[in-house]
Amino acid sequence: MKLEQMYQEIILDHYRHPHRSGLREPFDAESYQINPTCGDEVTLRVALDGDRVADVSYDAIGCSISQAATSVLTDLVVGRTVAESATTMDAFMEMVQSRGKVEPDEKVLEDAVAFAGVSQYPSRVKCALLGWMAFKDAVGRAEAGSSNNGAQRTEAQ
Amino acid sequence: MTGQLTTGQLNASELEKIRADFPILSRTVRDSRPLVYLDSGATSQRPRQVLDAERAFLEQHNAAVHRGAHQLAEEATDAYESARARIAAFVGAEPDEVVFTKNATEAINLVAYALSNSAVAGGAAERFALAPGDEIVITEMEHHANLVPWQELCRRTGAVLRWYQVTDDGRLDLDSLELSERTKVVAFTHQSNVMGTVPPVAELVRRARAVGALTVLDACQSVPHTPVDFAALDVDFAAFSGHKMLGPSGVGVLYGRRELLEALPPFLTGGSMIEIVKMEGSTYAPPPQRFEAGVPMTSQAVGLGAAVDYLSAIGMERVAAHEYALTEQALTGLSEIDGVRIIGPSDCVDRGGAVSFMIGDVHAHDAGQVLDDLGIAVRASHHCAWPLHRRFGIAASVRASFAVYNTPAEIDALLAGVQEVRRFFRVPA
């Protein structure tokens, strides 16, 4: 059965006990993303400290795959640089969109390799990516904000 | 669809014979599981008779209809118009009251755009023009196809969109809205595609008539499942799709009362729909041609004609009785399972065969995934009725929807599947 391959224990654990959930202050940018086919939504905040991701907080309504993927995301990016996070995101996207054809790199993806089974179900790929889309968008906004409001940010530091 | 229709059900051997007409129903999915197809509300499967009719048309008679004087053109036109006549008879309409469209969505858009085009069409169409402050009334249980086109019509004309609300048990709340002299259109579903609810059509038509408003009926979920007579329902317009009634995709129908179609300006313009064309301007053909611009779909119309023949041969009363029994079995079974919440009426009164539900707090996607793994095809989403889901405080639901080819054993499979969802996601008793 493919079902257990997709719903690995690690995914169900994150779903039942999500890491870093809830919206927190301070943050540099926020993104709201929605999956129009099922109505799932996530509001995700990013706080940057220089080029590092200091915190990711979120409020989400969604299926186990989207909830768990967002929870795992926070484990993978908080404390890392924005550039490292982007590499991880690219690897994650490549894996879940591969229809099972890409062997995931556990060194890069860590717990997120559990989502390899999702790539067998094209209709669930969007679920796995919802939080990542929000993260990508929020980081983009935070970086744009920091260059626009450089003086202010320097002052705050 | 009403409480009276419990006689004349299909017996097991008749049902077996019907199923044998649908090749896809004998295939397996997901590791050799027999397919249990409970998603006919999204699209139905097609019997060999429909597939054969399409193929025979394409192999023997294919040509562009309503143009050309060669033999194939005549045969193709005859096949197309014969399909129109049989489809019209199936829903209590005259042939010239049936307009072929791409699907029901296009049919409703056709009405909405023809109404806004009325403002500049002049002549008999002027009475349809909407002014700022006029009202278009819909319901909270509409499919997006009978909601978004009206939002857009309001945006184009300055009219205001209002809606009847839905009660906690999934019925239309007739006390939630008063129509007024400003109400110009009342558009509503004949059967909720989520909850199966059949609103009180006669009362809604009576109220609309009393204020001189046009009525538009979304009949997508009724025409495939129960006898429908648009003339008897006394609605002004109605829409349905071929692919939900054992027919092909790419063909739908707009029904319009003859005198209204005669007075309405066109939506899409171009070839086929004209009377006289000059460089300075054009005049338009009488309906239904006025609303069928360009070379229309032909094998699809012929296939839909075959679908109507197929349903008529079984008899729509018996189709309705069969689906009523399936719906009752599903509702009874689901209500006996701990943690299951039915979205909409939990009894079979004024209700059709679309059953949406939640299993504990398991997300519909996750529940649908487990059912899919068992070979059970259901829909897991907001079913293009997002405001309705919001009204019930949920993002999505699981929907099982039935057709004439479904069996009591398949309902049992669904109920067992729901138990498996509970086990897999540890839903508390």
C-alpha pair distances (Å), B131 with each of A145, B134, B156, B184, B388: 44, 6, 10, 10, 28
Tell me whether residue A54 is exposed, middle or buried, using C-beta atoms within 10 angstroms of its C-beta: 0 to 12, 13 to 18, 19 or more.
middle
**Cβ atoms within 10 A of the Cβ of B244, count?**
25
Sequence-separated (6 or more) residues with CB below 8 Å from residue A43: A23, A30, A31, A32, A58, A59, A60, A134
Dist. CA B201–CA B162, nearest whole Å: 18
Domain membership of residue A153 (yes or no) is no
Inter-chain CB proximity A3 and B370 less than 8 Å: yes
The domain locations on chain B are 12-44+315-424, 52-312
Q: In the predicted model, is pLDDT for residue A94 greater than 80?
A: yes
Average the pLDDT over A124-151 and give the result. 84
Per-residue pLDDT at B107 exceeds 80:
yes
Q: Does the distance separating the beta carbons of B364 and A3 come in below 8 Å?
A: no
Contact A62 B395 (CB under 8 A): yes
The two structure tokens encoding residue A21: 């959930």
The total domain count for chain A is 1
| Domain presence at residue A150 | no
Question: What is the average pLDDT across A135-145?
Answer: 94
Residue A155: per-residue pLDDT: 31
For residue B424, which residues of chain A lie inside 8 Å, CB to CB? 3, 7
Q: Look-up: residue for tokens 């504990």? A: B360
State ipTM: 0.87
Is A146 part of any domain?
no
- Sort B281 into a burial class: Cβ within 10 Å, 0-12 / 13-18 / 19+: exposed
Between A4-8, A70-74, B87-91, B416-420, the lowest mean confidence (pLDDT) is in A4-8
- pLDDT confidence bin for A1, thresholds 50/70/90: low
Q: Could you tell me the pLDDT band of residue A88, with boundaries at 50, 70 and 90?
A: very high
Beta bridge partners of B340: B359
Which amino acid is it at B404?
V
Residue A146: pLDDT band by 50, 70, 90 thresholds?
low
Q: Is pLDDT above 60 for B154?
A: yes
Radius of gyration of chain A (CA): 16
**Does A59 touch chain B if contact means CB atoms closer than 8 Å?**
no
For an interface test with B, which of A63, A65, A129 has the most B Cβ atoms less than 10 Å from its Cβ? Answer: A63
Residue A92: inside a domain, yes or no? yes
The residues that bridge with B354 in the sheet, in sequence order, are B401
pLDDT at B124: 87
Q: Give residue A149's pLDDT.
A: 43
Beta strands in B321-403 (DSSP E): 340-343, 354-359, 376-377, 379-381, 397-401
Burial of B175 per CB tally in 10 Å (0-12, 13-18, 19+): exposed
| Contact between chains at B365 and A7 (C-beta distance less than 8 A) | no
- Our CA angle for B359, A118, B194, nearest 5°, is 35
pLDDT (tens digit, 9 = 90+) per residue, B49-101?
999 999 999 999 999 998 888 999 999 999 999 999 999 999 999 999 999 99
In a domain? residue A127: yes
Q: Does A17 touch chain B (CB under 8 A)?
A: no
Best mutation target among B39, B358, B369 (most A Cβ atoms within 10 Å) is: B369
What is the pLDDT at residue B11?
94
Measure A133 CA to nearest chain B CA, in Å: 19
Q: Which residue of B has its CA nearest to A12?
A: B425
Q: Please say whether the beta carbons of B219 and B87 come within 8 A.
A: no
Q: Does B373 touch chain A (CB under 8 A)?
A: yes
Share of chain B above pLDDT 70, in %: 98
What 3-state class would DSSP assign to B114? helix
Q: Is B315 helix (H, G, I), strand (E, B) or coil?
A: coil
pLDDT class of B4 with cuts at 50, 70, 90: very low
Q: Tell me which residue of B369, B362, B354 sits closest to B426, measured CA to CA.
A: B362
Q: How confident is the model at residue A145 (pLDDT cuts 50, 70, 90)?
A: confident
Kindly determine whether residue A38 and residue B364, on different chains, have CB atoms separated by under 8 Å.
yes
The CA distance from A116 to A123, in Å, is: 14
Query: How far is residue B312 from each of residues A60, B79, B283, B318, B328, measured CA to CA in Å?
Result: 49, 18, 38, 10, 24
Domain that holds residue A74: 2-139
Distance CA B312, CA B324 (A): 18
Residue A134 lies in a domain: yes
Position B1 scores a pLDDT of 42
- B153, B128 Cβ separation under 8 angstroms: no
8 Å CB contact of B364 and A2: no
- Average pLDDT for B96-113: 98
Residue B158, phi-psi category: left (phi > 0), alpha (psi -120 to 50), beta (remainder): left
Q: How close A27 comes to chain B (CA, Å)?
A: 27
Query: What pLDDT, in 10s, does the model give residues B284-332?
Result: 999 999 999 999 999 999 999 999 999 999 999 999 999 999 999 999 9
- Which residue in B30, B365, B425 is closest to A38 by CB distance? B365
Q: What is the pLDDT of residue B428?
A: 85
> Tell me, what's the pLDDT at B144?
98
Confidence of residue A21 (pLDDT cuts 50, 70, 90): very high
CB distance B40 to B241 below 8 Å: no
Two tokens, residue B286: 């009488």
Mean pLDDT of chain A: 90
**Chain A contact for B32, CB < 8 A?**
no
A65 with B366: Cβ contact below 8 A: yes
Residue pLDDT, tens place only, A37-66: 888 999 999 999 999 999 999 999 999 999
pLDDT digits (tens, 9 = 90+) for B344-388: 999 999 999 999 999 999 999 999 999 999 999 999 999 999 999
- The CATH architecture that domain B52-312 belongs to is 3-Layer(aba) Sandwich (3.40)
Q: Is residue A144 part of a domain?
A: no
Q: How far is CA B218 from CA B165, B202, B207, in A?
A: 17, 14, 17
| B369/A38 CB distance under 8 A | no
Q: What is the rounded average pLDDT for all residues in chain B?
A: 96
A65 touches chain B (CB under 8 A): yes
Q: Which of B366, B384, B427 best probes binding to A when mutated, by most A CB atoms within 10 angstroms?
A: B366
Residue of A nearest to B370 (CA): A3
Residue B348 annotated to the active site: no
pLDDT digits 0-9 by tens, B198-241? 999 999 999 999 999 999 999 999 999 999 999 999 999 999 99
- A residues 88-117 near B, CB within 8 Å? none
- The H-or-E segment that residue B286 falls in is none
Has residue A82 been placed in a domain? yes
Which uninterrupted H or E stretch holds A94? helix A82-96
What gap in Å lies between CA A102 and CA A116, rounded to an integer? 9
Contact between residue A84 and residue A107 where contact means Cβ atoms under 8 Å apart: no
Angle at B354 between CA B350 and CA B358, to 5 degrees: 115
B42 near A CB under 8 A = no
Tens of pLDDT, residue by residue over B19-49, are: 999 999 999 999 899 999 999 999 999 999 9
Over residues A98-132, the pLDDT tens digits come to 998 888 999 999 999 999 999 989 989 999 999 99
Residue matched to tokens 């059970």: B376
Average pLDDT on B148-174 reads 98
Q: Are strands A29-35 and B237-241 parallel, antiparallel or unpaired?
A: unpaired
CATH of the domain at A36: 3.90.1010.10
C-alpha–C-alpha distance, residues A129 and A123, integer Å: 11
Residue A151 touches partner B, C-beta closer than 8 Å = no
B33 to chain A, any CB pair closer than 8 A? The answer is no
CATH number of the domain located at residue range(s) B12-44+315-424 in this protein:
3.90.1150.10
